[in-house]
């Protein structure tokens, strides 16, 4: 080895300033969780122009609900005048309302002229 390479090896390494571990961990603990988006109910409204079969099929196609859940929603909307189909973000709820409104008329009821009514409302806090 030459003298030049020996001197390079013997020079002291540079040091970086590092925060103590305790300080880094406490900073991570104080970070707040991101806020959850407000939730909204998709409400299906009752009318006399749509059958249980129509509601069940619509719930299966638009929401992916099994037949049993579709029947529960059909029964609830018939008995109480309204039923919650889904609780989700506002944007998704608005999409689902549009899909309900464009689903079409009930082929089993000749007097039926169009889709069922639906709306959204905020989930109670």
C-beta of residue 123 within 8 angstroms of C-beta of residue 87: yes
Q: What percent of the chain has pLDDT over 90?
A: 69
pLDDT recorded at residue 125: 81
- Please give the mean pLDDT across all residues of the chain: 86
Q: Which CATH class is domain 39-122?
A: alpha beta
Q: Kindly report the backbone phi and psi dihedral angles of residue 5, in degrees, each rounded to the nearest multiple of 5, phi listed first.
A: -70, -30
- 95's tokens: 């999409």
Do residues 118 and 73 make contact, with C-beta atoms less than 8 angstroms apart? no
125 vs 88, higher pLDDT: 88
| Tokens 């464009």 -> residue | 102
Taking only the tens place, the pLDDT of each residue in 25-50 is 555 555 678 888 899 999 999 998 99
Query: Is residue 78 over pLDDT 80?
Result: yes
């Amino acid at each position: 080895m030459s003298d030049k390479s020996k001197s390079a090896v013997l020079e002291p390494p540079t040091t970086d300033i590092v925060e103590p571990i305790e300080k880094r961990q406490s900073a991570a603990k104080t970070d707040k969780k991101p806020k959850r988006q407000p939730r909204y109910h998709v409400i299906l409204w009752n009318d006399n122009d749509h059958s249980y079969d129509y509601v069940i099929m619509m719930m299966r196609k638009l929401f992916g609900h099994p037949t049993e859940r579709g029947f529960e929603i059909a029964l609830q909307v018939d008995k109480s005048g309204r039923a919650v189909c889904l609780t989700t973000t506002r944007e998704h709820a608005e999409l689902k309302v549009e899909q309900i409104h464009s689903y079409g008329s009930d082929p089993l009821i000749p007097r039926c002229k169009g889709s069922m009514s639906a709306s959204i409302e905020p989930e109670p806090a």
